[in-house]
Amino acid sequence: MTEPEPETTSEFPPLLRCVDVTVRFGGVIALDRVSLDFRAGEVCGLIGPNGAGKTTLLDAISGITAPSAGQIHFAGADATRRSPTWRARNGIRRTFQRQQCFGWLTAQHNVMTALEWHGGGGGLLADLARSPARLRREKARRQRAAEVLELCGITSVAHLPAARLPLGTARIVELARAIVDRPRMLLLDEPTSGMEEAEVEIFDHAVRAVRSEENCAVVIIEHDVGLVMRMSDRVVALDLGRVLADGTPTEVRSHPEVVAAYFGR
């Protein structure tokens, strides 16, 4: 029996548009005129062989790498030249291919760092006077962090420094940090590498929750084809910087060029 296809979310307008995005590193063309739309409420799996340009695409969307040509539009605004900070503050959050927790901070504080940019309100004076408004904000932040730690199943390790956590748990902390500020777009670069099976289940559950509660657009780079096909509404396959296929999991899995470039190797 074949699994039913996840419901399509094409009724949502594109939240982010890549238009002919090209990224060159010297003579290497990492992305070659990539045009893709990502919609709110849609989980998009991004697959492709090593060096296909997957991470470069997330770097271009999150502002870490400036495209050599092409444009990136986010929520109707031209974001092509916007800084990574602008993009993060406007709701584009990500995790990295290599785990990037702050090792000396506890899991809870790692998560709370993503909320710090909102500020405490009232400046130094409010800080010194311990103003009620300041304390209320601080409490709200702790509550939000606690909620996300719980969603991600890491409440019991919240007080431990991230450096003392196993890799899979640290990966979950990264996910919690990426979702705590209610992102509009969540970019995940090989998020399950190093996770145990039970952690992958928690990851799957948390991503589904953020997708449905925040109507978030999610892009997941994932080498576990079974997982990506199960989690995604849509799958995009890249090879040599180009879009090879873009469609439902079933369409992409049976696409001849994808089979040759990805599954066939």
Ligand X SMILES: Nc1ncnc2c1ncn2[C@@H]1O[C@H](COP(=O)(O)OP(=O)(O)OP(=O)(O)O)[C@@H](O)[C@H]1O
Contacts to ligand X by CB under 6 A = 25, 28, 30, 48, 50-56, 97
CB closest to Mg ion, residue no: 55
Sign (positive/negative) of CA torsion 192, 97, 14, 251? negative
For residue 218, the minimal CB distance to ligand X (Å) is: 17
C-beta closer to ligand X: residue 34 or 152: 34
Distances (CA, A) of 95 to 59, 83, 85, 128, 225: 11, 17, 14, 35, 19
For residue 23, the minimal CB distance to Mg ion (Å) is: 13
C-beta closer to Mg ion: residue 55 or 108: 55
C-beta closer to ligand X: residue 61 or 186: 61
Non-local (6+) Cβ contacts of 62 within 8 A are: 84, 87, 88, 92, 94, 187
Q: Which stretch binds Mg ion (CB under 5 A): 25-33, 47-55, 127-135, 246-254?
A: 47-55
- As given in the structure block, the two tokens for residue 36 are 């893709």
- Between helix 167-179 and helix 197-214 the angle, nearest 10°, is 0
For residue 46, the minimal CB distance to Mg ion (Å) is: 9
Q: Say which entry of ligand X, Mg ion, none residue 63 contacts (CB below 5 to 8 A, set by partner kind).
A: none
C-beta closer to Mg ion: residue 54 or 134: 54
Show the binding pattern over residues 86-125: x = contacts Mg ion (CB under 5 A), - = does not. Answer: -----------x----------------------------
Distances (CA, A) of 66 to 18, 128, 238: 12, 41, 19
For residue 223, the minimal CB distance to ligand X (Å) is: 7
Q: How far is it, in rounded angstroms, from Cα 54 to Cα 245?
A: 13
For residue 68, the minimal CB distance to ligand X (Å) is: 12
Q: Say which entry of Mg ion, ligand X, none residue 155 contacts (CB below 5 to 8 A, set by partner kind).
A: none
C-beta closer to ligand X: residue 51 or 122: 51
C-beta closer to Mg ion: residue 36 or 112: 36
- Binding of residue 55 to Mg ion (CB under 5 A): yes
Q: Say which entry of Mg ion, ligand X, none residue 50 contacts (CB below 5 to 8 A, set by partner kind).
A: ligand X
For residue 49, the minimal CB distance to Mg ion (Å) is: 10
Q: Which residues bind Mg ion (CB under 5 A)?
A: 54-55, 97
